[in-house]
């Protein structure tokens, strides 16, 4: 099994006040490295699917403002819609309690809750991870498909680089197989 993420995203200390929380979108895309903070899906194949989530839902904000950068997460629509206003502690400063609730994806221990199976599926390590897994619907198929597409894309790029220096039929045959797999996954993604 693989680590869930290669690196923990970190928000810069952006304190400039903005009129609408969406004004932070471009900065969040940079800080989250074009990935959903929760499921780690990359946005390349689904740009319009990515939104801004309030980590502590708006409903529970008392002192934190809805435009505060420190409370925003770049998130795919699936995670954002699944998370909704779920916040079991009801307190803006207590993120989780008794294995229920959330961990800010910018915390290093977020990665300890999950791992990645060789086939691309997300799984949980801990009870709190299990709670988040079901609340965020990490079992949905696109997480596995996007992970596989990203891996194939990187393999295809490696083959293309090699082919620019070595003319090899074995490599060309291998690339054809990779392209077919890639096409198969992108088709699956467009149908869900
Ligand atoms: Zn997501």
Type and span of the H or E element at 114: strand 114-116
Mean pLDDT, residues 94-105: 98
Whole-number pLDDT of residue 170: 94
Rounded to the nearest angstrom, the distance between the alpha carbon of 176 and the centre of ligand 1 is 30
Rounded to the nearest angstrom, the distance between the alpha carbon of 43 and the centre of ligand 1 is 9
Whole-number pLDDT of residue 144: 95
Whether residues 102 and 184 share a domain: the answer is no
Query: How far apart are alpha carbons 31 and 23 in whole angstroms?
Result: 14
Whether residues 108 and 164 share a domain: the answer is no
Rounded to the nearest angstrom, the distance between the alpha carbon of 81 and the centre of ligand 1 is 9
Whether residues 79 and 60 share a domain: the answer is yes
Whether residues 125 and 149 share a domain: the answer is no
Query: How far apart are alpha carbons 169 and 187 in whole angstroms?
Result: 27
Query: How far apart are alpha carbons 159 and 29 in whole angstroms?
Result: 29
Whether residues 20 and 113 share a domain: the answer is yes
C-alpha separations of 26 from 36, 77, 94 in Å: 14, 17, 28
Q: How many domains does the chain have?
A: 2
Neighbours of ion ligand 1 (CB under 5 A): 36, 38-39, 76, 79
- What share of the chain in percent tops pLDDT 90? 91
Rounded to the nearest angstrom, the distance between the alpha carbon of 182 and the centre of ligand 1 is 21
Q: What is the mean pLDDT of the chain?
A: 95
Rounded to the nearest angstrom, the distance between the alpha carbon of 69 and the centre of ligand 1 is 19
Whether residues 85 and 165 share a domain: the answer is no
pLDDT at 45 over 90: no
Rounded to the nearest angstrom, the distance between the alpha carbon of 60 and the centre of ligand 1 is 22
pLDDT at 28 over 80: yes
Rounded to the nearest angstrom, the distance between the alpha carbon of 74 and the centre of ligand 1 is 9
Rounded to the nearest angstrom, the distance between the alpha carbon of 75 and the centre of ligand 1 is 5
Mean pLDDT, residues 150-156: 95
Mean pLDDT, residues 36-57: 93
Whether residues 88 and 159 share a domain: the answer is no
Query: How far apart are alpha carbons 102 and 95 in whole angstroms?
Result: 6
């Amino acid at each position: 099994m693989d680590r869930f993420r290669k690196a923990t995203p970190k928000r810069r200390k952006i304190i400039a006040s903005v009129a609408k929380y969406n004004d932070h979108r471009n900065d969040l895309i940079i800080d989250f490295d074009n990935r959903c903070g929760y499921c780690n899906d990359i946005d390349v194949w689904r740009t319009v699917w990515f939104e801004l989530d309030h980590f502590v839902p708006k409903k529970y904000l008392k002192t934190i403002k809805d435009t505060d950068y420190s409370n925003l997460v770049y998130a795919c629509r699936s995670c954002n819609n699944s998370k909704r206003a779920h916040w079991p502690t009801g307190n803006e400063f207590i993120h989780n309690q008794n294995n229920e609730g959330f961990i800010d994806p910018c915390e290093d221990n977020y990665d300890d809750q999950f791992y990645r199976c060789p086939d691309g599926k997300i799984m949980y390590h801990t009870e709190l991870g299990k709670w988040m897994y079901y609340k965020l619907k990490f079992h949905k198929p696109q997480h596995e498909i996007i992970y596989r597409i990203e891996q194939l894309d990187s393999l295809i790029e490696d083959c293309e680089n090699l082919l620019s220096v070595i003319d090899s039929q074995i490599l060309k045959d291998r690339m054809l197989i990779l392209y077919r797999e890639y096409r198969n996954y992108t088709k699956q993604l467009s149908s869900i």
